[in-house]
Structure 1
């Protein structure tokens, strides 16, 4: 189910990106950078455009990096119809602080619209598609001027669409993000429940890591300011940057715990911890003192270093042969590639397209899926170790039969049921004859072989409900519910015959094995220990009578059997 959810998210994101890239609907643009003097008005900018001061832009999405001066864009609309031409302009990315759209006809300003996330009262983004402006063009020639200003990376995708196409485009984007957020929330909920139940720190760190990325995606895709904190311009200016650094901190914290970095590489652990604490202090100081440009550079630098560090920590884990290190390395590489592609798409180094813009989400979806699989694999290994420990605690390592403690745990409810309902219950105690002589004469390896063979014989003869155990040394015990003394006696004879049939090769000779067996039936004993003591006493009676025989309590006491 985890992989199915991941592939659904992947398909939705890729489909949205390909559909959007196939028909960008970007008008032909020209641009002008302001020179740092007084801000231009729309009429002044149009005059400069007509003087040829604007530079034509090549096809593709224009971008200007971090801290660029305000940029003016121009495109023309020629409408030959008789009525108004209605279009929706989708402009920019959700973190642009101020966007102004001016529509002019015959050199006269006809409409002005403003949006952005940098000032209270400005219209916010409509989500991942940036800012939407509803425009009406009169017949004839119209000029559209756009002024964009932000301290963050300035990226200006533009689409001029009919309203129905804009709605369809927004719907595809919303479906893609809905699947992504649903998938991430499912991973968060699953690991949160595991943490609540098991208290494994790695699952809590995973929840914090994935949860931080979810918040970051909500912030930089515009869904946060559009739906969760609308109108909070000051908060929106810094929230993306703070979450970028917090994501790095949570990712490195997860890596340190998951790879047991403090144990396998204590110096690296201290260095990583120092780095992300310093990064958190730096972004906090930038936010506190209003240093937005410094905060932007800090956040992008930290994210790039974080991506590289995650891969380096994966190498450390692989060299230390840590469980889950291959998973971690694969996830770190996918996350690093996605983050690097998105950073270069919005800054410099790669063209800005829907796919490159959303590469971080694709990379993190892969990363989150692989890390969830790694945690599940680790949980499976832990469970296997617990089961092995429980088996070792309950079973004799040599013979594979239950040990004395496990016998007591399983026998208690059987005894309680028999006593409460007056049901028959019997015990057999079997002790191998002359076992010390076998060890002294032939060595402990042969003695162990005899013990194992006797245990296998007892397992073969016991019924499904019987409880057999190694009682200690060469002594074995069998508790038989719903069994009378007469039936237990018959079982004891079968066990004795099976022990006698043990064939241990000794250089051409045959090692004979026999046992002394005692049988006791419950007839009002106060507790199970009293019943076992009686069976043990009958076992010693067999030894006194010459060994290699069965002895038991009435009604079987009048019988004695010896080969």
Structure 2
């Protein structure tokens, strides 16, 4: 596991912790069955002592597995937890294997060999639970098998060769099965983590793309100089049913044109002309209500849509905008510059064609121009 990438090591440690906790919490089924088989064939105090030893070792094993699960993200703590878990697993395996040294059991050949076979099965099952940590797997199976070797040496009259062969066979099976299973699990983890990383990258790219599209859509709707809606965006707002949802059944249209704007461009330059457009847009925006809408209609013309407004409201708002604009200093002294605008008003009611209403506002604006400028016509 040390040669694997850090994410793979973390996932392997997490799964080792989960599997070992589950093994420790369910192992009572196995050693309970083993105790039931041995009951009556060995002394009661020996059997109960062995049961207490197994329970204690499995409890310690489970607690250390929990500790490992808490430190999977810290490489130093993780390695230390795996080492302690390997020690606990050696003790746990030894407690299981000690049944082969129980007094009186070696004289009963069939029962003894059943017990040996039981231990081999436990060792093989441990491969699935512990293969993600080679030290843990080896520690448990060494603990499981050393009592068999001792039994083969102590009980010389009782098939020592069979016990040695059993230990060698189990050890070979653990080596082959354990390495193969470990590689399969690690390969699966790498593929899973790679898939998750690709999915995370894809999600991030989708979010970036969504944000970029939102920015593009906003840029497409805004006039780059004044940051007002452009004409195309405004016309989209005026389509049914968006219009009634946004502005109500009856709303006002205020169309205005900056007075003498061409002279400002010619005498002071287009840079000053741009400053005038920005200042006018800011002034209008600051004096409109939050539910109203401002757009640059074209050139030096702006249009305001006043939501849920009657004729008196539209007239009063237009006068307010006219006075505010006339009082705004575009350039500070000594090159002080102030501008005015001519306003044309119209009221859009249900059933009235929108183009006709806008045309009415446009005609009213030209009447204001011809009437002396800096005035409001409806």
**Band of TM-score, shorter chain:** 0.5 to 0.7
Aligned with residue 392 of structure 1, among 219, 223, 234: 219
Matches within 5 A, 1:539-554: 539-552=365-378
Residue from 535, 551, 560 that aligns with 2:361: 535
Q: Does 1:424 align with 2:250?
A: yes
SS in 1 for 2:200: helix
Residue of structure 1 aligned with 2:304, choices 461, 475, 478: 478
* Higher normalized helix content (fraction of residues): 2
Which of 316, 322, 331 does residue 496 from structure 1 map onto?
A: 322
Counterparts in 2 of 1:461 and 1:26: CA distance versus 1, 3 Å: closer
Superposed displacement of residue 373, structure 1: 2.9
- Which position in structure 2 is the counterpart of 1:442? 268
* Structure with the higher fraction of residues in strand conformation: 1
Partners of 1:497 and 1:488 lie apart in 2 by 14
Cα shift at 1:498: 2.0
1-structure distance, mates of 2:306, 2:190: 61
Correspondence for 1:145 among 165, 177, 186: 165
Distance 1:93 1:539, change over 3 A: farther
Contact 1:91 1:157 in 2 (8 A): no
CA distance in 1: counterparts of 2:188 and 2:334, whole angstroms: 73
For residues 477 and 221 of structure 1, the distance between their equivalents in structure 2, rounded to whole angstroms, comes to: 79
- What is the CA-CA distance between 1:418 and the residue it aligns to? 9.9
Do structure 1's residue 457 and structure 2's residue 283 form an aligned pair? yes
| Cα distance in 2 between the residues matched to 1:359 and 1:524 | 70
Flag the 1:156–1:403 CA change in 2: closer, same or farther, 3 A.
farther
Kept in 1, the 8 Å contact 2:251–2:348? The answer is yes
Q: Relative to structure 1, is the Cα distance of residues 92 and 398 closer, same or farther in structure 2, using a 3 angstrom cutoff?
A: farther
Structure 1 pair 145/524, CA: closer, same or farther in 2 (3 Å)? closer
Deviations 1:85-134 (A, max 9, x none): 4223259999xxxxxxxxxxxxxxxxxxxxxxxxxxxxxx995679xxxx
Higher relative contact order (CA 8 A, sep 6+): 2
Query: C-alpha separation between the residues in 2 aligned to 1:373 and 1:497?
Result: 55
* Backbone CA RMSD of aligned residues: 4.5
**Separation (CA, whole Å) in 2 of partners of 1:362 and 1:24:** 26
Aligned residues: 270
Q: CA deviation at 1:409?
A: 1.8
For normalisation by structure 2, the TM-score amounts to: 0.58
For the structure 1 residues 522 and 368, does the alpha-carbon distance in structure 2 shift closer, same or farther, using more than 3 Å as the test?
Answer: closer
Aligned positions of 1:150-189 closer than 5 A? 156=172, 158=174
- Cα drift, residue 401 of structure 1: 1.0
Deviation track 1:497-533 (CA, whole Å, cap 9, x = no partner) reads 2221232226722112110100112356631111111
The residue that corresponds to 2:202 in the other structure is 375
Aligned to 1:240: none
Question: Are the structure 2 counterparts of residues 395 and 10 from structure 1 closer, same or farther at C-alpha, using a change threshold of 3 Å?
Answer: farther
Matches of 1:91 and 1:357 in 2, distance apart? 21
The reply to whether residue 12 of structure 1 matches residue 32 of structure 2 is: no
Give yes or no for contact 1:93–1:129 (8 Å, CA) kept in 2: no
CA contact (8 A) 2:342 2:368 kept: yes
Quick check: 1:510 aligned with 2:358?
A: no
Task: Give secondary structure in 2 for the equivalent of 1:478.
Answer: strand
Alpha-carbon displacement from aligned partner over 1:206-245 (angstroms, at most 9, x marks no partner): xxxxxxxxxxxxxx999xxxxxxxxxxxxxxxxxxxxxxx
- Unmatched 5+ stretches in structure 2: 1-7, 21-81, 95-99, 132-147
Between the aligned partners of 1:458 and 1:10, the Cα distance in structure 2 is: 63
Cα separation, 2, equivalents of 1:11 and 1:427: 68
Q: Distance between the aligned counterparts of 2:350 and 2:130, measured in 1? A: 84
Give the match's secondary structure for 1:469: strand
For the Cα contact (< 8 Å) 1:91–1:129, is it kept in 2? no
Computing the radius of gyration over CA atoms, which structure comes out larger, 1 or 2? 2
Partner of 1:547, secondary structure, is coil
* C-alpha displacement of 1:369: 4.2
Query: How far did residue 425 of structure 1 move?
Result: 2.0
Q: Which residue among 66, 75, 88 is the counterpart of 2:119?
A: 88
What residue ranges of structure 1 are gaps of 5+ in the alignment?
A: 1-5, 29-76, 95-124, 131-135, 150-154, 160-219, 223-344, 347-352, 553-563
